[in-house]
């Protein structure tokens, strides 16, 4: 079974499985031979060039297993007969941990204190605090639940919003009324047509003065120009692991906007994610070989 994998680490993990022939393709090296014969493709974390063209040539593809929760680069171009599965559960710990660290860093003004340390200045002042805050989680799925578990003990009120309302979780139609009460708004929604640009000027205007926007979703969920405009007023602050465009180019206004902490899409880039990726990939390929039901099958937009 010809299988393309993103790294030697994944190839080693699958090497003991009978009949699995691995070729490493990370998108930076030349494409291996035999693309028409690839039955299982596990793409790398960073999207390879020309996904539509690559998938169009994969006439034998039956399983596309991503190592990311998002599947937007692949879903529209999936060949007939292939099943698309995501890496739900792999990046929950890292992403949730990043979100907690990012909101605390912004609220407690850690970036400002780091700048003062570099200047050798003792800049004593009161800061914000997470305790007694209302944290609004927009996109309450498995990562949102992982974030809530990590916030337990910080003495905050959690408000949950998802695509569809359910017990204890508000629907998206209730979001405008919830925004003005939140001290921290965490974005964990997938990239879909419905979420593209959802955090626009009107969304940001409804956030309360001094609130923090935390984006651990996708850069395209936020209207970057609208966010920069709000940050320049000093009314809102933000912590961003993703941006639009991405990577953020040198000289972009977001780099120098006040009150923003930017990390280069690293929330899920941790040893824990690597370990969980290897476990998921091996178990999934074992299920495929045995003809057993696969997990994390994408049947809708996510």
242 shares a domain with 137: yes
Q: What CATH number is attached to the domain comprising 69?
A: 3.40.50.720
Of 27, 92, 89, the residue nearest 268 (C-alpha): 92
Assigned domain for 44 exists: yes
At 70 the pLDDT is 84
186 shares a domain with 127: yes
Average pLDDT over residues 198-220: 97
Domains of the chain: total? 2
At 299 the pLDDT is 86
40 shares a domain with 141: no
Assigned domain for 297 exists: no
At 69 the pLDDT is 85
At 294 the pLDDT is 97
Which residues, other chains included, contact 247 with Cβ-Cβ below 8 Å and sequence gap of 6+?
A: 264
Please give the model's pTM, rounded to 2 decimal places. 0.90
What are the tens digits of pLDDT across the range 6-51? 999 999 999 999 999 999 999 999 999 999 999 999 999 989 999 9
What are the tens digits of pLDDT across the range 44-77? 998 999 999 999 999 999 999 999 988 989 999 9
229 shares a domain with 157: yes
Average pLDDT over residues 243-263: 97
Residue 216 has pLDDT above 90, yes or no: yes
Assigned domain for 298 exists: no
At 301 the pLDDT is 55
Residue 180 has pLDDT above 70, yes or no: yes
What are the tens digits of pLDDT across the range 137-153? 999 999 999 999 999 99
Assigned domain for 296 exists: no
283 shares a domain with 144: no
3-state secondary structure of 118: helix
208 shares a domain with 96: yes
Average pLDDT, the chain: 96
Assigned domain for 54 exists: yes
Assigned domain for 128 exists: yes
Q: Which domain holds residue 121?
A: 92-262
Average pLDDT over residues 101-127: 98
139 shares a domain with 13: no
164 shares a domain with 81: no
Assigned domain for 302 exists: no
Assigned domain for 299 exists: no
Question: Which residue is catalytic, options 91, 125, 170, 265?
Answer: 265
99 shares a domain with 232: yes
Per-residue b/e over 45-59, b at no fewer than 16 CB within 10 Å? beebeeeeebbeebe
Instruction: Name the residue with tokens 């994998």.
Output: 5
DSSP 89: T
What are the tens digits of pLDDT across the range 258-272? 999 999 999 999 999
At 52 the pLDDT is 97
The rounded distance, in Å, linking the Cα atoms of 295 and 297 is 6
208 shares a domain with 99: yes
At 25 the pLDDT is 97
168 shares a domain with 80: no
Active site annotation includes 252: no
Residue 275 has pLDDT above 90, yes or no: yes
Which residues, other chains included, contact 223 with Cβ-Cβ below 8 Å and sequence gap of 6+?
A: 197, 199, 200, 201
258 shares a domain with 162: yes
């Amino acid at each position: 079974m010809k299988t393309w994998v993103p790294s030697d680490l994944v190839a080693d993990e699958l090497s003991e499985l009978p009949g699995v022939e691995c070729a490493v393709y990370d998108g930076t090296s030349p494409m291996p031979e035999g693309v028409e014969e690839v039955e299982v493709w596990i793409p790398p974390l960073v999207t390879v060039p020309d996904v539509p063209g690559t998938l169009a040539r994969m006439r034998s593809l039956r399983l596309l297993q991503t190592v990311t929760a998002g599947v937007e680069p692949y879903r529209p171009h999936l060949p007939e007969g292939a099943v698309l599965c995501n890496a739900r559960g792999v990046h929950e710990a890292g992403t949730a941990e990043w979100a907690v660290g990012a909101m605390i860093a912004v609220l407690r003004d850690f970036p400002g204190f780091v700048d003062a340390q570099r200047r050798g200045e003792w800049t004593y002042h009161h800061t914000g605090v997470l305790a007694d805050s209302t944290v609004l989680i927009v996109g309450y799925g498995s990562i949102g639940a992982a974030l809530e578990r990590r916030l337990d003990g910080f003495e905050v009120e959690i408000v949950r919003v998802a695509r569809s309302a359910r017990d204890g979780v508000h629907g998206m139609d209730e979001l405008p009324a919830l925004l003005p009460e939140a001290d921290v708004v965490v974005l964990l929604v997938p990239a879909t047509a419905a979420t593209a640009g959802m955090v626009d000027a009107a969304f940001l205007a409804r956030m309360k003065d001094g609130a923090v926007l935390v984006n651990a979703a996708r850069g395209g969920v936020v209207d970057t120009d609208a966010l920069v405009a709000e940050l320049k007023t000093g009314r809102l602050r933000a912590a961003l692991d993703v941006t639009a465009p991405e990577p953020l180019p040198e000289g972009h206004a977001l780099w120098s906007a006040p009150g923003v902490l930017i990390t280069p899409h690293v929330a899920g880039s941790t040893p824990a994610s690597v370990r969980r990726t290897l476990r998921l990939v091996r178990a999934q390929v074992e299920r495929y070989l045995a003809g057993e039901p696969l997990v994390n099958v994408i049947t809708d937009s996510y």
